[in-house]
Structure 1
Amino acid sequence: MKILTAMYTMRRGGAYDRFSMMLEAFWERGCEVHCLSLTPIQVDHPLFHNHVIYFPFKNVDGMMAKLSVLFLFPWWAVWVGWRNRIDLIIAFGALYAFIQALSKNILKRPMVTFIRGNMSFGSKMQNSSKCVLGVIKMIEGIGIRCSNRIITNNEASRSEILNSMGRRKNIDVHVLYNNIPPISIRDPEDIPHIRAKYGIPKDARVLVTAGIINRGKNIETLIRCLHKQGAQNIYLMIVGESFTQAALDYKEFLQGLTRELQIAPKVIFTGWLEREELYKIYLASDLFVMSSMSEGMPNAMLEALGSDLPCIGSDISGIKDILQHDELLFDPFNDNSLADKIQKLLYDPVNLDKIKTLCWNRKKDFIFNWKERLYQLIG
């Protein structure tokens, strides 16, 4: 089978990790993948063919790049699809479904679309105007309606898509949760060395959060909660990086907030870490906390569960699909409530043991062969 897909550029993050896993699932079954992009995708595989469109501008995040994707990719997709006689179109998002709808209709090939969480949330977090949000919503709606099958990663997204379809209720919308990847649990004797590397005392309590740093992660809530703990020996590790100007500005705001609250020495921004180093941090931490305002199904939290690290998170779709239990959820906009919850977990062994048991039970539901289930849904 020959597959056509698109990814205008590859970055770090959970969505891109899943895109890579999707490619691997196809290759393992002998499928040939043709991928359109603005920048070369660094993948070396005999079944992977990267079709890079010429782009004369350096900034791939600028308006010209976005317009190029919107207006040139549809015709580029038709040409590449026709020339290579593709059998299936895969759209990794509603926008890509819109872009590839032309090739679907001209080439008469089925299109499967992956939706990763709230479709327009990223644009809202960049303070886009109502006009821009309206255009994005229209484009995404067209992409959804042109899809033959949709695969999303949480129940709320599935409901949102079905409600947006109006009278067209016969479209296939499936939920495929993210899974926990294989994780080798390290020796607890490494904990003092890991903490020393980041300047954390041996007797300190350590909170950790991870992911791409942007406004949607609502990390300022965690920083304010740390401030409310007063002089207690608690540290916060923020693992991740920002990749757009808006996200970089947000990271600077967070760093400024730590200085304003006079807790900068207790808040550690590690930057982006490879998985092996991230798992070391999980080993040396006491509690994983994710205070996001919107999530698809965060890989960072699943990996924390897989590392046997107790987790709590915002009471929102995606996170709620993972944690389920009220004891593991909190209101991301209530600093005081979260601060109290963290206090009880860090200093009440009975409460912490209960949370550990709940997390361990949830972990078992996410250990499965994601690639196999993906291929079954597409096939």
Structure 2
Amino acid sequence: MISDTTETFRILTCYYRPKPGGFCKRLFRGIRALLDRGHTVHYLAVVPFPIEHPNCHFHRFPWPEERTSGYLFWGCFHLLAPPMLLWLGFRYRTDRAFAFGHTYSLFLQPLRLLKRVPLTLFLRGDTLAKHRTTGRTELLVAIERFLEGLAIAGTRLQSVSEVLLNRVTARHSLLLPAECGILRNDIPQCPALPQKRELPLRAACVGMLEHGKNQQLLLDVFKEIKAEQAQLYLYGTGPDEQLLRERVQRENMTDRVHFMGWVPSERIWPEVDLLLMPSLHEGAPNAVLEALGYGVPVLASDIPEHGEILPAKCLLPLGNATGWRKWVTFSTNEPDYRLRELIREQEAIADRLRFDWDEAFVRCVP
């Protein structure tokens, strides 16, 4: 349910620390939208968020900033964050709460139950799917599923996609949210880019370098593509970076595969002719939406999450490196003409993703 009230609220949230990538970018955007409309935001974190505002209040979780990983940290964070958030809620008389992700919703559940504070959970991705693709044990997946149920129970659940909402709610027959809705990511307003594309084609993958993003498939693709035809730029860092670098060196692809690290998004898209997203699973990828906003053509894996925001002609089968290679090679033949065809397909369905996301977010919380 979306509220039309103009009343202002004291709102509590939690996230352990700022990180590069679309998740935190969207979280901070939501907080700024609340602040711009007169609300007060309190948050618990180890490291302060990059938000300067008199109504935004940082409450420090007592932990060394350089040690926010590992079993010890996460064990202590899971144990101590719920009572700290409960205390903050009573101390500052917060009357609304929200969380990005079910872990942080779980931490805020005591506040919802004991203080009757409405809790909005913004579901950004499928943690269980991620666990399965990374080979976690079935016991760990079962525990995570139970905790997910506790986290969504009684909340105002706002999913980033219909596929994700249906998948998560289908897993829980007893622990159900009070309300359900969908708040998609929007396509940002972006300046027009020069349209002329020449060889070598500049292809990119943007996001965490990890198993779920499936950059190994792109290395399979570019192993058979000549450097004068196309270049691959990997934007981002992550747990698979060293593995990917070693393979590029071992298979002599350094002349056509480049590791760019984290780069501000506005600097990426003028340097990219084609975005490649072979993900095994997604929420609603910000990189794809930014590419659509800048008019950059996209080829993505044929998974349900991509199918909600991209036309069928932009989707390619998972695990079929030959099919991806053929498409990239095909695009190098008259690249300007071929890629314009993809852009026309994308523009036909992109309008429904152009909306005031900030206003929609704010109306979901109070």
Match of residue 137 from structure 1: 145
1:227 aligned to which of 223, 226, 237: 223
In structure 2, distance between residues paired with 1:9 and 1:347: 45
Alpha-carbon distance, 1:316 to partner: 1.2
2:136 aligned to which of 128, 131, 145: 128
In structure 2, distance between residues paired with 1:203 and 1:335: 21
Corresponding residue pairs, total = 357
Match of residue 86 from structure 2: 78
Correspondence 1:51-130 to 2 at 5 A: 51-55=59-63, 58-130=66-138
Alpha-carbon distance, 1:310 to partner: 1.0
In structure 2, distance between residues paired with 1:158 and 1:133: 18
Alpha-carbon distance, 1:136 to partner: 1.7
Write the deviation string for residues 111-161 of structure 1: whole angstroms up to 9, x where unpaired: 1101112132343455433322222221111101142x1011111111012
Correspondence 1:1-379 to 2 at 5 A: 1-55=9-63, 58-147=66-155, 149-167=156-174, 171-187=178-194, 203-230=199-226, 233-242=229-238, 247=239, 250-282=240-272, 285=273, 287-323=274-310, 325-347=311-333, 351-379=338-366
TM-score by length of 1: 0.88
**Contact 1:97–1:146 (8 Å) recurs in 2:** no
Alpha-carbon distance, 1:344 to partner: 2.3
Write the deviation string for residues 17-45 of structure 1: whole angstroms up to 9, x where unpaired: 11011101111110100101122333211
Over 3 Å counting, the alpha-carbon distance change for 1:307 and 1:30 in structure 2 is same
In structure 2, distance between residues paired with 1:220 and 1:63: 28
In structure 1, distance between residues paired with 2:177 and 2:276: 39
Unaligned runs of 5+ in 1: 192-201
Alpha-carbon distance, 1:107 to partner: 1.1
In structure 2, distance between residues paired with 1:309 and 1:166: 42
In structure 1, distance between residues paired with 2:227 and 2:24: 39
In structure 1, distance between residues paired with 2:329 and 2:321: 12
Bigger relative contact order (CA 8 A; separation at least 6):
2
- Identity among equivalent pairs (%): 24
In structure 1, distance between residues paired with 2:351 and 2:177: 33
**Contact 2:98–2:365 (8 Å) recurs in 1:** no
Amino acid at match of 1:215: H
Alpha-carbon distance, 1:210 to partner: 0.5
Write the deviation string for residues 181-235 of structure 1: whole angstroms up to 9, x where unpaired: 221234569x8xxxxxxxxxx6312211111211111001011111223565211
Structure 1 stretch 174-183 or stretch 336-345: which is displaced more? 336-345
Write the deviation string for residues 231-284 of structure 1: whole angstroms up to 9, x where unpaired: 652111111122xxxx1xx111111222232222100111110122112223xx
**Contact 1:154–1:317 (8 Å) recurs in 2:** no
Match of residue 196 from structure 1: none
Unaligned runs of 5+ in 2: 1-8
